[in-house]
Amino acid sequence: MTQFPQTIHFTGTNTPIGVEWSARNLDVIGTIPEEIDGAFFRAVPDPALAPMFEDEVALSADGMVAKFDIRGGTVDYAIKYVETERYLLEKEARTALFGRYRNPYTDDPSVAGKDRTVANTTPVWHGGRLLMTKEDGLGYEVDPETLETIGRFDYYGALKSETFTAHPRIDPETGEMFFFGYEAGGLASLDVAYGIADKDGNLISEQWFKQPYCSTIHDFTITEKYAVFPIFPTTADLDRLKAGGAHWAHQQDLESWVGIMPRYGKVEDMRWFKGPKGVSAFHFLNAYDDGDLVHLDVCLSDTCAFGFMREAGGVERGQQSIQGGMTRWTFDMSKPGEEFESRVIGPPGDMPRIPDASQGRMHRKGWYLTINPEGGPPVPGGPVGVSFNMLVQIEPGNGRIEAMPLEPGMAINEPVHVPSSDPEKDGWLLMVVDRQTGENSFDSELWVVEADAVAKGPIARVPMPLPMRAQVHGWWVSREQLDKAKARKAQGLAA
């Protein structure tokens, strides 16, 4: 194609922008606290070229890495393409060469065997390194200062998995990163790699296991004792791929599963719990140990949130009909059997956040995005095609809920959390908010919200001079972490 299709994947807040730009000292309305000192990295899918096929989806768009650099109450911004092998090949050819979402059988023969990933899902900071990740391939290392692409990162050849999740988990005490890759042994394979990298970013373990069927394992969790792998029935099939079909099809009649193993243990010790049929979740708020119990907070829905995955599985359900809730699943590790308990602890929603320090520990609060039924029709766009318009805070311990609803015609992107040095305070949430100004035009702002007082709305706003495409995930990196990495790099260069 020579033009972008006029589908939801390319309109609304998914309207392609494709501009690499930067700006210093953006206008700030209100005051950004001095303590917010560091970088808010964002993964923004934005197709550089019109796709090969009309039915292309937003999830295939080329990854851009964006950075809000915040210090002393001032803000700089920059955004650049991640120069994946795929991006560079298509840039050279000046046309799309890669076909359907995660189906290499639909590619131009000239790119057979080339890396298809678009690095568009999460900027991950670990071991002084910034990786742009997408679950269908390895991460690409990006220079956190210049946003220039360094290259595909495979732990110096040590990682055997072909894939690396966009949702690793970092233990706040040990600094280790726990991660996985599914389809680790190739397209539609049952192989899942489970890996651990030490605090300096060296691979210290990688084990493989088989999942019950080839599902999209988008996220997982750790506790202080366990690694938790949820399996939902959105499945891949090699024959369908070979026929040029969809990678994922949701199967409403298939069971879900949760595999739990000691986080430093052997994959052979995985214990499988059986969950409800047909349900789906892409993200988990957190998990933690409570004696022999493991609590897992799931952004659960009764079917798959992505319309194109439902359609491929023959599930005829409109986006508006999807039910769900923030759901606590509790596993009793002292009892045998496949059962676990389930209860709803918050309204339906996704893009959850907890403070990094609560990772794998009891979280007093959690924040995520939801659709406010009183907020007018949702703005079209974002990964699933309808945007969230309200931030919610839940306190699982006491059931209290607070919210920051937006005005009609506004959309909210996933926040990052910035901790406060004051133990009495919950820190801040930073997020980009879009306001619709025309059919496919939006004004965007960075908002700073006190995490203790979300209902109050932003304490500072940064209007952006150019339009911004919908973000997927983000990551906060403190100035201390950035400076440490910079010093290490300077030492390495000097040596």
Interface positions with ligand V55 (CB under 6 A): 45, 59, 120-121, 134-135, 218, 282, 383, 472
The residue among 196 and 432 lying less far from ligand V55, judged by its C-beta, is: 432
Q: What are phi and psi of 135, to 5 degrees?
A: -65, -10
What is the nearest approach in angstroms of ligand V55 to the Cβ of residue 384? Answer: 8
Contacts for 4 with CB less than 8 Å, ≥ 6 apart: 10, 16, 47, 50, 51
Q: What is the dihedral of CA 487, 123, 197, 486, to 10 degrees?
A: 0
CA–CA separation, 271 and 265 (whole Å): 12
The residue among 81 and 288 lying less far from ligand V55, judged by its C-beta, is: 81
Evaluate whether 86 touches 131 at the Cβ level (below 8 Å).
Answer: no
CA–CA separation, 426 and 365 (whole Å): 9
Q: What is the dihedral of CA 212, 215, 216, 219, to 10 degrees?
A: -20
The residue among 5 and 33 lying less far from ligand V55, judged by its C-beta, is: 5
Q: Which of 227, 369, 366, 218 is nearest to 297 (CA)?
A: 366
What is the nearest approach in angstroms of ligand V55 to the Cβ of residue 134? Answer: 6
SS3 206: strand
Instruction: Dig out the tokens for 59 from the structure.
Output: 């999830």
Q: Which of 31, 63, 56, 68 is nearest to 308 (CA)?
A: 56
What is the nearest approach in angstroms of ligand V55 to the Cβ of residue 350? Answer: 8
What is the nearest approach in angstroms of ligand V55 to the Cβ of residue 474? Answer: 13
- 466-476 burial, b for 16+ CB within 10 Å, e for fewer? ebbbbbbbbbb
What is the nearest approach in angstroms of ligand V55 to the Cβ of residue 59? Answer: 4
**Which run of H or E residues covers position 464?**
none
What is the nearest approach in angstroms of ligand V55 to the Cβ of residue 63? Answer: 8
Evaluate whether 142 touches 133 at the Cβ level (below 8 Å).
Answer: no
Evaluate whether 394 touches 346 at the Cβ level (below 8 Å).
Answer: yes
SS3 268: helix
Contacts for 318 with CB less than 8 Å, ≥ 6 apart: none
Q: What are phi and psi of 55, to 5 degrees?
A: -90, 20
What is the nearest approach in angstroms of ligand V55 to the Cβ of residue 101? Answer: 7
The residue among 127 and 137 lying less far from ligand V55, judged by its C-beta, is: 137
Evaluate whether 455 touches 24 at the Cβ level (below 8 Å).
Answer: no
What is the nearest approach in angstroms of ligand V55 to the Cβ of residue 103? Answer: 12
Complete DSSP assignment for 414-447: PPEEE--SSTT---EEEEEEEEEEETTEEEEEEE
What is the nearest approach in angstroms of ligand V55 to the Cβ of residue 216? Answer: 6
What is the nearest approach in angstroms of ligand V55 to the Cβ of residue 318? Answer: 20
Per DSSP, helices labelled H in 292-337 are 307-312
The residue among 282 and 476 lying less far from ligand V55, judged by its C-beta, is: 282
The residue among 312 and 460 lying less far from ligand V55, judged by its C-beta, is: 312
The residue among 118 and 462 lying less far from ligand V55, judged by its C-beta, is: 118
The residue among 39 and 118 lying less far from ligand V55, judged by its C-beta, is: 118
The residue among 120 and 235 lying less far from ligand V55, judged by its C-beta, is: 120
The CA angle 402-306-47, to the nearest 5 degrees, is: 100
Instruction: Dig out the tokens for 319 from the structure.
Output: 């986006």
Contacts for 80 with CB less than 8 Å, ≥ 6 apart: 20, 64, 65, 66, 147, 148
Evaluate whether 115 touches 152 at the Cβ level (below 8 Å).
Answer: yes
The residue among 58 and 111 lying less far from ligand V55, judged by its C-beta, is: 58
What is the nearest approach in angstroms of ligand V55 to the Cβ of residue 98? Answer: 14
The residue among 79 and 472 lying less far from ligand V55, judged by its C-beta, is: 472
What is the nearest approach in angstroms of ligand V55 to the Cβ of residue 351? Answer: 9
The residue among 129 and 247 lying less far from ligand V55, judged by its C-beta, is: 247
CA–CA separation, 29 and 393 (whole Å): 24
* Chain center to CA of 91: 26
The residue among 184 and 196 lying less far from ligand V55, judged by its C-beta, is: 184
What is the nearest approach in angstroms of ligand V55 to the Cβ of residue 393? Answer: 22
